[in-house]
Structure 1
Amino acid sequence: MPRSIWKGAISFGLVTIPVKLYSATEEKDISFRQVHPEDGGRIKYKRVCEKCGQEIPYAEIAKGYETPDGRLAILEKEDFEALPLATTKAVEVVQFVAEGEVDPTYFAKTYFLQADGPGVKPYVLLRDALLQSEQCAVVKVALRSREAMALIRPKEGVLLMHTMLWPDELRDGAFAAPPAEVTVSDAEVKMAQSFIDALSGEFHPEEFTDSYREALEQVVQSKLSGVEMEAAPEVESEAEVVDLVAALRASVEAAKKRREEAKESKAV
């Protein structure tokens, strides 16, 4: 069982729900070390003070905030622990909203909430109330030295908490929008919808795999075993698309063919 990363309580009106917080996700990637290629020795970094030139142990390093006029405020661990924030050990419910009202762009990280000790019954109360009302709780919580908005929602018997970015942390994407004078015809839109229909279906994430990580693992094993890998097949470069309708029609046919092949392979 994973270790909890935070303990506190959800304030649900006058009801207090003691909870533990666990990370709900883990990134699975191949990690590399920086090494000297001639002898395989690891490359190490030293934390050196630019003024005195001394190497400083990690435990003795403090955080400093430099103001625009050059003044430096040095903050110690005790300063962060003494922050005048009510949310450091409490999850404060500030609003209830329908899940669809929150733009997924706001979501940062997902956590499991587990009832702690006497918090089991009020935990179940909040979970079932959210389920039956089809609502989610917007909360404020302080995690990892910063306060965040978050969304609490029930899923498969558990309360999930999605930490969220603040509105001023979302960039304005207007620069990426195509020019207003660029338009498409009804025929092009209908053919695009045909392609969407051809690939529409229920979302089953377990059917997808990380092809890049799998290929990288093969390269690593090839290096360790000393056996050269077969050369990857060359991908034919596609011609420039001139007729969108014709290109989409071909895409629809290819999508249908892939689906038929996938069904046949499952049936075997």
Structure 2
Amino acid sequence: MPRPVWSGSISFGLVNVPVKMYNTVRRKTIRFNQLRKSDGCRIRLKKTCAADGAEVTNEQIVKGYEISPDQYVIVTQDDLDALNPKASKTIAIEDFVLSEQINPIYYEQAYYLVPDKSSVKAYMLLLSAMQSANRVAIARLVIRNKEQLTAIRPADNLLTLSTMHFADEMIPHTALDDLPADQSPPDKRELAIAMQLIESLSTDFDHQKYHDDYREKVMEMIEQKAEGQQIVNQPAATQNTKVVDLMAALEASLAAIKKDQPEPAKTRRKKSRAQ
């Protein structure tokens, strides 16, 4: 049973809506331990001084910010505690914006917001109003002594909260070196074939369709090794760097997809009549 990671209230004008915040993701990361090859003994990592190689305990370690090579400003935990944002149990909404104005790359981590039993009416009012207005709420929240910029969004019958990157954390695309310089429109025939290719692959999104194939293969390999089976390594994939004719590649891709797709019933009936 999931447990809330935070509880407090959404501040909406003069209205406070008590909510609980839950994780949306249960990560399935495969973790390995480091072992000594000769006997499988567990490896422990020690903290040592770069100058003399002596082991250093946690009590002897302080934080330092490098201002120039090998020159540090020492920062204590008290220094940081004095600057921590004031702990709050409120998600303070500052603005409502159109959802299409937010680039998805700004989003970081998502949570569910579930209403307290005493706040269902106010919660559903906020949810319905945001859905009708097609608006996203921009709010601030303090989590683990860190102020987070967040976006509250309607999703089906509940609200979700996504932490967001601040503007000065984002890398503008104009800073990239390899942006295409040629902005001329594509060939009309190539564009038409590309549109057909997109249309032939278009479908409704089904999240259950997609799996982490690599993780599943790793777990299968681990189970086989645990049972003493011999593992055959797959050959490394080779990268195709050959320059191909774009039009020919598009047409071949479209033909391959049409070949794999089942024939419409109408076409099958015509063929059977002709026979």
Q: What range describes the TM-score normalised by the shorter chain of this pair?
A: 0.7 to 0.9
How far residue 89 of structure 1 moved from its aligned partner, in angstroms, is: 2.4
Give 1:180's aligned residue: 182
Task: Say whether 1:133 aligns with 2:133.
Answer: yes
How far residue 55 of structure 1 moved from its aligned partner, in angstroms, is: 4.4
Higher relative contact order (CA 8 A, sep 6+): 1
How far residue 22 of structure 1 moved from its aligned partner, in angstroms, is: 1.2
| SS at structure 2 position matched to 1:30 | coil
Q: Supply the AA of the counterpart residue of 1:66.
A: Y
How far residue 160 of structure 1 moved from its aligned partner, in angstroms, is: 0.4
**CA pair 146-246 structure 1, distance change in 2 beyond 3 A:** same
Give 1:83's aligned residue: 84
TM-score normalised to structure 1 length: 0.82
Give 1:56's aligned residue: 57
Question: What is the number of residues matched between the two proteins?
Answer: 257
Equivalent-residue separation in structure 2 for 1:73 and 1:42 (angstroms): 34
Correspondence list, 1:246-261, <5 A: 246-260=248-262
| SS at structure 2 position matched to 1:88 | coil
**CA pair 117-75 structure 1, distance change in 2 beyond 3 A:** farther
Q: Supply the AA of the counterpart residue of 2:220.
A: Q
Segments of 5+ residues of structure 2 without an aligned counterpart are 264-275
**Seq. identity, %:** 31
> Are the aligned partners of 2:64 and 2:72 in contact in 1 as well (CA < 8 Å)?
no
Give 1:26's aligned residue: 26
> Are the aligned partners of 2:197 and 2:253 in contact in 1 as well (CA < 8 Å)?
yes
Give 2:270's aligned residue: none
TM-score normalised to structure 2 length: 0.80
Give 1:264's aligned residue: none
**CA pair 239-152 structure 1, distance change in 2 beyond 3 A:** closer
Give 1:5's aligned residue: 5
> Are the aligned partners of 1:99 and 1:136 in contact in 2 as well (CA < 8 Å)?
yes
Among candidates 204, 210, 219, match of residue 206 of structure 2: 204
Equivalent-residue separation in structure 2 for 1:235 and 1:50 (angstroms): 40
Q: Deviations over 1:51-71 (max 9, x none)?
A: 9956435xx588735262732
How far residue 148 of structure 1 moved from its aligned partner, in angstroms, is: 1.8
| SS at structure 2 position matched to 1:130 | helix
How far residue 84 of structure 1 moved from its aligned partner, in angstroms, is: 4.6
Task: Say whether 1:124 aligns with 2:116.
Answer: no
**CA pair 65-256 structure 1, distance change in 2 beyond 3 A:** farther
How far residue 259 of structure 1 moved from its aligned partner, in angstroms, is: 4.0
Correspondence list, 1:153-168, <5 A: 153-168=153-168
Q: Supply the AA of the counterpart residue of 1:79.
A: D
Task: Compute the RMSD of aligned alpha carbons.
Answer: 3.0
